[in-house]
Amino acid sequence: MFVRDEGETPRLCVAEPKKGRVDCPLAQAYPAPADPRGELLVVVQVDGPRQRLATWSGGEPQPLTAWAGAIREPRWSPDGATLSFASPHEGVSALWQVDREGGEPRLLDHHPRGNFEPNPGPDGRLVFGTSRDGNAEVYALGPGGVERITDHPGDDVSPALSPDGSRLAWLHSEDGVQRVWVRRDGLAGPLLPDVGEQEGFAWSPSGDLLAVTVLEAGVRSLRIVDPAGTEKARIAMPGGAQRAVWSGDGRFLAFETSDAEGVPQVAISHVSGRGPAIVAEGWLPRFVPVARIPG
């Protein structure tokens, strides 16, 4: 699934590259990350300033939450039992959670300076970013409450635990340069200390690789590296490559690129970097099981 802009209207599209099929049946909706159980297609519906989470199987989406304020960064728990997301509370971004069956969202944590980018881990912890200490830092929310993870002068954002919970990665800014940092056993440091500006990353389903978006000489590419920072492959296209997501089996990556006129395109590549190919015009790609594609 991905999003295609038609004028000022975003449309949710589905594509089956092997069949050459692309349909855009749902207006004013964005895809959430893939359900770990492979059973639900969850979307964020938009109605002016209001948004809600809903499941979609063709026809009218079925609400998981009531209409409320903006919904940002929805993320499944690894077992697929809950969805966590950021949404306003008392005028600032707070952390919320809803069961996969839907219902009233639970307020997990709120701070006057805001919480954002929640990301649940396999051990029940939820890592997130917050500006409660002035600049953005990474915190964790667990059974014992809220725990500070990073303490740097620069911003630390976009935290994500590895699938087994043994490592934590995030984006760290220092001296005007942003890079991916990884922490294990209390020790943290840059994953790729000498490689360009790093704008994002994604853990593979097995946790043995990361796909890192690197900006060098004005061009974005994807570096496929192990948690020690050893490069295994590189994915590059004339229109760049960024914001990658992994297929469930870890063999493929979908990502954003653009054509010669700068129009956003969705592309796919084998993890080895072989044969990257454009799928369709659009952005915000997500892999979903073929059996769950409506129609």
C-alpha 64/C-alpha 182 separation (Å) is: 34
The enclosing domain of 103 has a CATH number of 2.120.10.30
Regions in the chain scoring below 50 on pLDDT: none
**Residues 130, 120 contacting (CB under 8 angstroms):** no
Number of domains in the chain: 1
Tell whether 27 is covered by a domain: no
Determine phi and psi for 66, rounding to 5 degrees: -75, 160
Q: In this predicted structure, what is the pLDDT of residue 291?
A: 52
Q: In this predicted structure, what is the pLDDT of residue 8?
A: 87
pTM of the model: 0.94
Check the CA dihedral 64-65-66-71 and report its sign. Answer: negative
Going by the DSSP 8-state scheme, the letter that residue 124 receives in this structure is S
Q: In this predicted structure, what is the pLDDT of residue 260?
A: 93
> Residue 117, Cβ neighbours under 10 Å: how many?
23
Tell whether 20 is covered by a domain: no
Q: How many residues does the chain have?
A: 295
C-alpha 77/C-alpha 97 separation (Å) is: 10
Check the CA dihedral 58-253-33-214 and report its sign. Answer: negative
Tell whether 3 is covered by a domain: no
**Residues 125, 139 contacting (CB under 8 angstroms):** no
Tell whether 196 is covered by a domain: no
Tell whether 110 is covered by a domain: yes
| Residues 20-52 pLDDT 10s | 889 999 999 999 999 999 999 999 999 999 999
How far, in Å, are 33, 42, 76, 84, 127 from residue 79 at the CA level?
A: 13, 15, 8, 13, 16
Tell whether 171 is covered by a domain: yes
Tell whether 51 is covered by a domain: yes
Residues 6+ apart with CB under 8 A from 220: 199, 213, 214, 240, 241, 242
| Residues 245-268 pLDDT 10s | 999 999 999 999 999 999 999 999
Q: In this predicted structure, what is the pLDDT of residue 150?
A: 96
Q: Which domain holds residue 150?
A: 44-191
C-alpha 114/C-alpha 93 separation (Å) is: 5
How far, in Å, are 15, 16, 46, 265, 279 from residue 20 at the CA level?
A: 7, 6, 28, 15, 8
Of 186, 187, 174, 180, residue with least CA distance to 209: 180
Tell whether 83 is covered by a domain: yes
